Amino acid sequence: MEKELRLNQLTPEEERVLIHKWTEMPFTGELLEEKREGTFVCKQCDAPLYYSEMKFESGCGRPSFDDAIPGQVHEYVDADGRRVEITCTTCGGHLWHVFRGEKLTEKDTRHCVNSVSMKFVEGKVDMLEHAVHNTADVATFGWGCYRCVEAVMQRLRWVIQVESGFMWWATDDPTYDDVSYDETGHVEVVHIHFDPELITYQTLLNVFFSSHNPTQLNAQGNDKGTQYASVIFTHSPEQASQAQQMIQQLNESDIYTPETVVTQVREASDFWKWPDAHQDYYNNNQWDRYCEFVINPKIKKLRESYADLLKDEEAESSR
């Protein structure tokens, strides 16, 4: 389910420029002389647009930048076919125009932006954190040891971030060892932050079911215990419906006959994140015997079955 875009209340002047595409008078904007280190963000939706190191003095009377944060500013040709308008990719707010060929900087580009279309925040906005909190949806899956789930999901294109930890409802503030020794009722899971515009929850479900044996109760291979259950924690009624429908379809097919899918579908509860030492395990320990004998075959199967979903470096490895 897409996150609802939250828009800020605009003043009449801001609305004239951002919505109705008026142009502010040159040399009047409050950000023209802004020289502090930080980020220029959209006035309407707070999406990061430009970093301070991209800003330069062009003499045009409006804030000028020789580049934009990748993917944050959209360009398209004006109706008159002569100029290129720029807008905020996130909300469509009008910024003004981009010009090229003026030889003002090494990048030969000038984003000329209405000051009133932006606001300045000190410090460099972390784009990963911004995406996780503003544009990404979340899926939470568990099957066997979290290291397997983490390694598989990290390799998918359009998955923004993967966090490993545990979820259920039992012991408050459990430790890594508590969960590992099956003493709390928690399940090892990963939180998957993904871009729903580019990869669907249904696609993640497909990868989830094809990457483990969902007919094993509280176990995957030699990893045995309730902490290794096959489980889908859902974050919306839509996710719950999709998960339950897929389980029904699998059980009605002959894929696992005579076994049945025992994957549980539960509403998400508190997520407890593993300490940093346990995050990103496969990427940091690929020569570990567990990685070599348990995770590598899953990565191989992923590359064979979902080559079109892999991040560029993974796609290269699969060739």
CB 42 within 8 A of CB 34: no
- Spot the catalytic one: 45, 91, 112, 145: 145
For residue 211, the 8-state DSSP code is: T
| Beta-carbon contacts of residue 76 (< 8 Å; ≥ 6 apart) | 84, 85, 87
Amino acid at the residue 276: D
Whole-number Å distance between alpha carbons of 151 and 207: 12
CA distance 21 to 201: 36
**Residue 83 to residue 103: CA distance in whole angstroms:** 17
Q: Is 112 a catalytic residue?
A: no
Which residues, listed in sequence order, are joined to residue 194 by a DSSP beta bridge? Answer: 137, 159
Residue for token digits 């348990």?
Answer: 294
Give the tokens for residue 158: 């359009």
Beta-bridged to residue 84, according to DSSP, are: 77, 98
- SS3 state at 265: strand
Cis peptide before 258 (omega within 30 of 0): yes
Reading the block at residue 213, the tokens are: 């044996």
End-to-end CA distance of the chain: give it in Å, rounded: 34
21-30 in b/e form (b: 16+ CB < 10 A) is eeebeeeebe
Q: Which residues are catalytic?
A: 145
